[in-house]
Structure 1
Amino acid sequence: MPLAIKAFIAPLIVACAMFMESVDGNIIVTALPSMARDFGSDPVALKVAITSYVVGLGVFIPICGWLADRFGARTVFRTAIGIFVVGSVMCGFARNLHVFTLARFLQGIGGAMMVPVGRIIIFRAVPKTEFVRAMNYLSLPAMFAPAAAPLLGGFITTYLHWRLIFFINVPVGILGIYLTNRHIANTHEPHPGPLDWLGFLLSAIGGSLVMLGLSLIGSGLVSDRTAYEMTVTGALLLALYVLHAQRATLPVLDLRLLKVPTFRASVLGGSMFRIGLGAVPFLLPLALQEGLGMSAFQSGAITCASAFGSMFMRSMTSSVLRKFGFRTVLMYNAVFSGIAIAAYGAFFPGTPIWVMWVVVLLGGFFPALQFTSLNSMIYAEIGSQDVGRATSLGSVVQQMSLGLGVTVGGIVLQISRDLHGHAHALWSDFWPSFVVVGLFSLGSIPITRRLAPDAGDEIARGSRG
């Protein structure tokens, strides 16, 4: 196969799989009220379905590289697509929230393997002279999925049926498996070395129990006592992992990397910001549909504005970082991001659509600068030999933070609704949730302000707009 075609086909296959995963992750939130009605559940309780997906993503990311080296990148990649499709079919046929939550967790496992293994495939399959071009293909899903998903999900939910959202993945996944078998080599390392299975089990089970336990509080799926017991048990397992990681030679999540200032600020400070960011895709469609009585399609037409704001800011990020540096941008933009997120709580019946659209546009603009800056700075002081371990730890914390945002936003919404004595969420119940998650963005400032004024300057000044 000519190099030009080889540089095109492998990234295209991976990009399509990533687009399917990204759209699916963004599309469900628009359909939550309709799903809740079919399941006979409270829409707020469906936060556990979103959290279970994020947990599946987060806990399996650290072992994806090892699996690809042990069994071959093509084998793991097509298996990941297969798992994702099976999970999608289960979601489409689910008749209650219990089955749906399990299916979303299965989808998360498939999604966890698709993205990092897809990057490994491109790194090994594409000539270095075509690498930048290949990575541009991979950026397309991240750019267009957040804009397309709310509109597509809203249209299908309003005019067809939400279950079709998940069946769309079946032909796409089958085609992806076929093209993977045909065009992608099964590359792997001969000796990937031992895997820290004990560390993986402690971190995976502990993280899952904490996240799912918190999201199950007040859901009605299990008793609150059981949810609290899950959370406490998970926290104990995570504490055991911390002790284990200090002694292990190659821990699955290397916490020692948190001693690096820019990495610590990106991961720990970023986790505070991402809690607020993660809550928005869950809270905003609920506020528009349950609080203001919009259809799923009307809601999607407004929430997609965030993606356009994000696209516009991403084109400016390099210039902003070159001019102001990471420390200044992360501190001041955290304030702007927090205000932008909290502003969603100001929507009330009669708010003009154009005002909502502008607010949501800005709600994508400032957080995009924060998100991109955090992701860019994460490798500023990381050596090439530590990139893999840094990626694993950073990715896990990022996913768990986004999931925790959904949980926090849902809990505050439940408390607000109970205090007001409302059986169902009204528009006036949502503003405390948006304010609280917006404050989390400000919580990142004490961490990022400890950075040196010139932290990450080599990346910031050397970037190109």
Structure 2
Amino acid sequence: MNATPTHQALQPEFRLLVLLVSIGFFMQGLDTTIINTALPAIARSLNEDPLRMHSVVVAYVLSVAACIPLSGWLADRFGVRNTYFTAIIVFVLGSLGCAIAQDLNTLLMFRVLQGIGGALLLPVGRLAMLKIIPRTQFLSAMSLMSLAGLIGPLIGPTLGGWMVEYLSWQWVFLINLPIGLLGGLITFKAMPNVTEPNVARFDYSGFVLLVVAMVGLCLGIENFANPLYPLWWSLTLVAVGLLTSLIYAYHSHTHSNALFRSKLFKNKIYAIGILGNFFARLGGNSIPFLLPLMLQVAFGFEPFITGLLMIPTVLGSLASKPIIRKIIQRFGYRQVLLVNTLLVGMCIASFALTTADTPIWLRAMHFFAFGILNSLQFVSMNTLTLKDLSQQDASSGNSFLSMIMMLSMSIGVALAGTLVNMFSAYFGPEQLNNAFHLSLICLGCINIIAAYIFWHIPKNTPV
């Protein structure tokens, strides 16, 4: 008797659904990176200091982090098609609003709207595939979809730089309109509106606590070096964020319907993975924001050239994918994460050795090496975190990890912006190089400290 194959090729009737989810994944991946090379041009257009434009990145990423816990419940309650279609419309409207914004506050408001739509695109799309596509074909579907997620970040910085230089910065947002409208049209043909018959009551109080905690921590760190706000205001925001986090920890322990139950953290490997993800991503996730800013503002590079220079980072990430599993199997999670966390930290700090005169070939090799190390770090951390979760905790644990990843990115970018502003205020505007260099050294040191967390991984942890 022949055994049924575990994995099968994707059947034609599911290809349109995978294309649809890939469109959402592509838009989200593109929007996370395309903005980085455009920030100095947006700052000039809105008469803002380019060193204070990190709030444009933070507003989007933070709203994505805050709304991730909503995605699964909305899809179960209102159906995957209705939720996904709404997410696309919200994302497109947010993009249009960003393009027509005439001041920074309006831009930030529409970036938040964009983030709310973006927060639902990937989780709901992945959930729709899980519910509709047979498990035997799911791996093939996920492999095809992941290509779209790689293409977005690959072309994002270069496309953003080209648009800024040869069109206008508004096109960084307007490009989402035709892609989003195409996705909206396909939604009704490709995605049935699957709902769940019994949906638990949503944990509104827990959701509010999480949002307050994330916003407090992010805005507190972001405003530390802002002369418009006194120091006590930033410290109060951070304190509120920390206090609300503690209240949520108690809530997750006592509330039977909490978004993320405290029992998740009884799994030691998961707890180490979450803590490691949060701290090790602070430096790594801030680099795609900080390097294009340094290249343009401090070194005087053109936006398009800046975008091209960011490609080796993504190519390094792609090049590392086939070897990551072999490296982990050979050395184990503990040794890989201990050594690689130190290497990533040193690589981030070593960007402080570069100047405007650094040869292009050397800069490209430097970025390529960072891409390899960063990809190895992220994949190792993610697989370690999720590998021992039970089937019943898998969905909740994955959602919490996704939220922590986006929260770490928003805090990392806020921290990078704050460090640059603090050091530029100290050195003066004529020594911006020093401000960026010291910021990179600080971020590298923070990454190195994260190695202490991975020290606690048991030595006999199986791969």
**Structure 2 counterpart of 1:240, one-letter code:** I
Paired position in structure 2 for 1:463 = none
The reply to whether residue 271 of structure 1 matches residue 278 of structure 2 is yes
Query: 1:269 deviation in Å?
Result: 1.2
Give the TM-score, by structure 1 length: 0.94
Residue of structure 2 in register with 1:296 after alignment: 303
Match of 1:255 among 258, 262, 284: 262
TM-superposed deviation, 1:437: 1.0
1: CA distance, partners of 2:186 / 2:356? 49
* Amino acid aligned to 2:206: G
Cα distance in 2 for partners of 1:258, 1:213 equals 27
Corresponding position of 2:454: 448
Distance in 1, matches of 2:170 and 2:304, equals 15
Distance apart, 1:209 and its partner CA = 2.6
Cα deviation per residue 1:232-251 (whole Å; 9 max; x = unaligned)? 33333223222222211131
Q: Distance in 2 between matches of 1:385 and 1:73?
A: 21
Q: TM-score, structure 2 length as denominator?
A: 0.95
1:232 paired with 2:212, answer no
Q: Deviations over 1:214-257 (max 9, x none)?
A: 22333466565544443333333223222222211131122332
Q: Answer yes or no: is the 8 Å Cα contact 1:62–1:392 preserved in 2.
A: yes
Deviation string 1:48-88 (CA, Å, 9 cap, x unpaired) is 11111111111111121111000000000010111111110
* Pairing of 1:28-43 with structure 2 (within 5 A): 28-43=35-50
Q: Deviations over 1:239-295 (max 9, x none)?
A: 322222221113112233223121112110121110011210111001100111000
Quote the residue 1:317 is aligned against.
324
| Alignment equivalent of 2:123, drawn from 107, 110, 116 | 116
Aligned to 2:194, the other structure's residue is in SS state coil
Is 1:55 matched up with 2:62?
yes
1:178 matched to 2:207: no
* Contact 1:334–1:444 (8 Å) recurs in 2: yes
Whole-Å Cα distance in 2 between the matches of residues 202 and 321 of structure 1? 37
| Cα-to-partner distance string for 1:132-163 (whole Å, 9 max, x where unaligned) | 21011121123222221111011001111110
> Contact between 1:10 and 1:125, CA under 8 Å: does it hold in 2?
no
Quote the Cα distance in structure 2 between the aligned partners of 1:191 and 1:256. 23
Alignment equivalent of 1:340, drawn from 347, 371, 379: 347
Aligned to 1:404: 411
| Helix, strand or coil at the partner of 2:53 | helix
Alignment of 1:75-90 (within 5 A): 75-90=82-97
Structure 1 counterpart of 2:436: 430
Letter in 1 for 2:95: S
Q: Given the alignment of the two structures, is residue 389 of structure 1 paired with residue 396 of structure 2, yes or no?
A: yes
Q: Does 1:20 align with 2:27?
A: yes
Q: What SS does the corresponding residue of 2:300 show, helix, strand or coil?
A: coil
Which whole-Å CA distance do the structure 2 matches of 1:265 and 1:142 have between them? 27
1:147–1:305 CA contact under 8 A, matched in 2: no
**Are the counterparts in 2 of residues 344 and 360 from structure 1 also a CA contact under 8 Å?**
no
Q: Please state how far the C-alpha of 1:430 moved relative to its aligned partner.
A: 0.8
Q: Which residue of 2 aligns with 1:331?
A: 338
- Aligned amino acid, residue 443 of structure 2: V
Residues 33-182 of structure 1: pairs in structure 2 closer than 5 A:
33-182=40-189
Alignment of 1:356-371 (within 5 A): 356-371=363-378
User: In the alignment, is residue 415 of structure 1 matched against residue 422 of structure 2?
Assistant: yes
Displacement after TM superposition at 1:305 (Å): 1.0
Letter in 1 for 2:131: R
Does the 8 Å CA contact 1:409/1:437 hold for their aligned counterparts? yes
Consecutive unaligned residues in structure 1, runs of 5 or more: 461-465
Inter-partner Cα distance in structure 2 for 1:140 and 1:220 = 43
> Partner amino acid for 1:103?
F
Unaligned stretches of 5+ residues in structure 2: 1-9
> Is the Cα contact below 8 Å between 1:6 and 1:126 reproduced in 2?
no
2:315, 2:371 within 8 Å by CA — same for their partners in 1? Answer: yes
- State the match for 1:280 in structure 2: 287
CA gap 1:255/1:439 in 2 versus in 1, 3 angstroms: farther
For the Cα contact (< 8 Å) 2:57–2:413, is it kept in 1?
A: yes
Q: Deviations over 1:1-56 (max 9, x none)?
A: xx822221111110111101110110001111111111111112111111111111
Q: Which amino acid aligns with 2:27?
A: M
How much is the aligned-residue C-alpha RMSD, in angstroms?
1.7
Structure 2 residue matching 1:316: 3-state secondary structure? helix
The 10-residue stretch of structure 1 (108-117 or 436-445) with the greater mean CA deviation from structure 2: 436-445
Inter-partner Cα distance in structure 2 for 1:408 and 1:24:
21
Is residue 58–residue 396 contact of structure 1 (8 Å, CA) maintained in 2? yes
**Aligned partner of residue 426 in structure 1, secondary structure:** helix
Percent identical pairs in the alignment equals 31
* Residue correspondences, number: 455
Q: CA deviation at 1:349?
A: 2.5
Cα deviations across residues 331-367 of structure 1 (Å, max 9, x unaligned)? 0011111111112111112111111111111111111
Structure 1 residue runs of 4 or more that deviate by more than 6 Å after TM superposition: none
Moved more, 407-416 or 203-212: 203-212
Q: How far off is 1:443 after superposition?
A: 1.7
CA separation in 2, counterparts of 1:129 and 1:217? 51
